[in-house]
Amino acid sequence: MKKYLAEMVGTMVLVLMGCGTAVSLACGTDTASVVGTACAFGLAVVAMAYTIGGISGCHINPAITLGVLLSGRMSGKDAFWYIVFQCIGAVLGAAILFAFTSVATGFGGTLTGANTCAGAGSQLAGFIVELVLTCVFVLVVLGTTDAEKGAGNFAGLAIGLSLILIHFVGIKYTGTSVNPARSFGPALFEGGQALKDLWVFIVAPLCGGALAALIWKCLAGCKCKKD
């Protein structure tokens, strides 16, 4: 049970700190706000990786959990409950953020940092962006945490930095989710277009996570000759 609770707490922190920064900086209005938001999500992952990584592995993302499951590193039961508690944590994080912003003044845009496909121009374009970026992100996770080929204690840092990089690319188009739970919680409170586009931010990252697992299985299992 401890590992499930750890996933809940970790996801709550990710949503609160990452989306909270996006709201506070009015992300997307200038370059500084994009950089700040990207760093917030990456730093939240690094912080949680070294806080709960030893308990649950710090997935805090259903797409990562799916990738780990398909890579044979966890059971279906654990994967199911990881995702359930990640979603609960995301709702809690979004609820806290909504409480902060709903009583404050000066917020002209989103109150929860919810994702939409507005910047991408269509749901299809948003789907492609999220699928590709999630695939890259989960591939980094699977590679750096591999028992034989991974980065050991530096895995958390590598994962956090890669998430910053991915946000730099994706914020303009979708706000960057690459995490179904991260989009689920804020969308419940935001409503409107965020709810209409929510399926994109659930299905696309999961497909990206599955694709990453397939790619990593091919790479890790490759017995290529050395030059």
> How confident is the prediction along the chain (227 residues), in pLDDT tens digits per residue?
999 999 999 999 999 999 999 999 999 889 999 999 999 999 999 999 999 999 999 999 999 999 999 999 999 999 999 999 999 999 999 999 999 988 775 555 678 999 999 999 999 999 999 999 999 999 999 999 998 888 899 999 999 999 999 999 999 999 999 999 999 999 999 999 999 999 999 999 999 999 999 999 999 876 544 43
**Domains of the chain: which residue ranges?**
2-221
Q: What is the DSSP letter of 17?
A: I
Q: Which CA distances in Å does 151 have to 96, 126, 156, 158, 169?
A: 34, 31, 9, 8, 24
For the domain 2-221, what is the CATH code?
Answer: 1.20.1080.10
Which tokens sit at 181? 């739970």
The 10s digit of each residue's pLDDT in 62-100 is: 999 999 999 999 999 999 999 999 999 999 999 999 999
All residues at 6 or more sequence positions from 87 whose CB lies less than 8 Å from its CB, including other chains: 11, 62, 180, 181, 184, 185
Check residue 29 and give its pLDDT. 84
- The answer to whether 97 touches 44, Cβ cutoff 8 Å, is no
Predicted structure pTM score: 0.94
Other residues' Cβ atoms within 10 Å of the Cβ of residue 30: 11
Which of 169, 221, 216 is CA-nearest to residue 42?
Answer: 169
| Total length of the chain | 227
Check residue 222 and give its pLDDT. 63
All residues at 6 or more sequence positions from 212 whose CB lies less than 8 Å from its CB, including other chains: 67, 134, 135, 136, 137, 138, 139, 141, 142
